[in-house]
A = this chain, B = another copy of it.
Amino acid sequence: MPGHASEAAVRRLPLYYRQLEELERRGTVRVSSGELAAQMGSTASQIRQDINFFGAFGQQGYGYNVSELKAHLAKILGLDASYTLVVAGVGNIGHAIVNYRGFADRGFRLTALFDSSAALIGSSINGVPVLDAAAMPAYLAENPTDIAVICTPAHAAQATADTLAAGGVRAIWNFAPVTLRVPRGVAVNNVHLTDSLLVLSYKLSHGEA
């Protein structure tokens, strides 16, 4: 793959993957870009462009083999790798993330939780220990970690990100309502729940609903 896939295209890959899972579950063997587009409210052209960036996985006159394309996408998405994951901040959303079933299935290994509340430190959730946030640098030095989930309060998020980056974490999944500044080489993906709700509020009040 020459160049780089656009951010927008990359964000569509998991949707394709999900749709293919669904088709496979239903026992569908082949699918054309046109069918996929109809099912997903997209366009055949866009789907072929997105997929073709990574390789010619289809067959003229036939379309795509569902299982085959799904396997290609799994590999493209890095689902064949195994990544270690920690969660910083075991509050409201932190808890929900920890209780999420499905990390393991997709190759994510949740290895530690961090919090600064004495009430939580030392306990464990779903078999994953809650460690003192102050011990994070030492932990990361001992346990190479790929991805960190930031669920701390807003005021603590940037300092947490700094510690994580310094500790070698390469990807941050940020739930704190803060625009993080991270060194080059660290990927950030934001889930700003309140922002997302405000977009709905905007649409409601502008009659776009």
What residues of chain A have their CB less than 8 Å away from a CB belonging to chain B?
Answer: 4, 10-11, 13-15, 17-19, 39-41, 76-79, 81, 83, 92-93, 95-97, 99-100, 102, 106-108, 146-147, 170-171, 173, 177, 179, 181, 185-187, 189, 191-206, 208-209
- Tell me if B187 and A11 are in contact (CB < 8 A): no
A208 to B189, CA, bound (A): 12
Query: What residues of B have a CB within 8 angstroms of the CB of A83 in the complex?
Result: 201, 204
- Tell me if B170 and A209 are in contact (CB < 8 A): yes
| Whole-angstrom distance between the Cβ of A117 and the nearest chain B Cβ | 16
Query: What residues of B have a CB within 8 angstroms of the CB of A77 in the complex?
Result: 198, 201-202, 205
A201 to B203, CA, bound (A): 31
- Tell me if A108 and B202 are in contact (CB < 8 A): no
A41 to B10, CA, bound (A): 21
- Tell me if A189 and B200 are in contact (CB < 8 A): yes
Contacts A79-B201, A191-B191 given; indicate if A18 touches B177 (C-beta within 8 A).
yes
Q: Which of A97, A106, A208 has the most CB of B within 10 A?
A: A208
| Whole-angstrom distance between the Cβ of A209 and the nearest chain B Cβ | 4
With A4-B208, A10-B203, A171-B203 given, can you name 11 additional A-B contacts, CB distance below 8 Å?
A14-B195, A40-B179, A170-B204, A170-B209, A171-B200, A171-B204, A171-B209, A173-B196, A186-B209, A189-B196, A191-B191
- Tell me if B195 and A11 are in contact (CB < 8 A): yes
